[in-house]
Amino acid sequence: MANDTYIDQSAHVSAGAKIGAGTKVWINTQIRENTSIGDNCIISKDVYIDAGVSIGNRCKIQNSVSVYQGVTIEDDVFVGPNVSFTNDKVPRAFNSEWSITPTLVKQGASLGANSTVICGITLGEYCMVAAGSVVTKDVEPYSLVMGNPAVHYCYIDKMGNKVDD
């Protein structure tokens, strides 16, 4: 780990995790083995990052988010408080042969508070997911989706402003 990272004393970070320069890991966070977190990220309070997860540079993962194995987050992604990722298409407690279904969050995407991302999808570049939405299918780049299930509402620019369709 780089010298200018900050890891709160209450955080549990595996010796096998790679944490980039300038990244801050806050209170009660757990980061598992074989995880890669880029430079200048903010990993907020009560976050869980599972084994093998990859998070790019300049990401903000807000309070109480769990990022499970199979999720890849590219650069400049915002993950709002209490966002839920899944990684099992057919979850059963008694299935000992379950498999991970990967999810990809592309560069610049923003996920609003309390949104849920069902595994096996791609969230396009600079898309936005409205707070409380349930994302069940791929999201186009520069698209704002909302609802349960989340549907396209409008197109947005890189800064998140609505553009004419």
Q: How far is CA 5 from CA 21, 34, 43, 46, 73, in A?
A: 6, 18, 11, 18, 19
The partner residues of 110 in beta bridges, in order of sequence, read 78, 128
pLDDT tens readout for residues 28-61: 999 999 999 999 999 999 999 999 999 999 999 9
What ranges do the domains of the chain cover?
A: 1-87+100-164
Question: Rounded distance, CA 38 to CA 22, Å?
Answer: 9
Q: What is the pLDDT of residues 61-108, one digit of tens each?
A: 999 999 999 999 999 999 999 999 999 999 999 999 989 999 999 999
- CATH fold, domain 1-87+100-164, is UDP N-Acetylglucosamine Acyltransferase; domain 1 (2.160.10)
Q: Return the ∠ at Cα 161 (arms to 148 and 139), rounded to 5°.
A: 40
How are beta strands 162-163 and 151-156 bridged, if at all? antiparallel
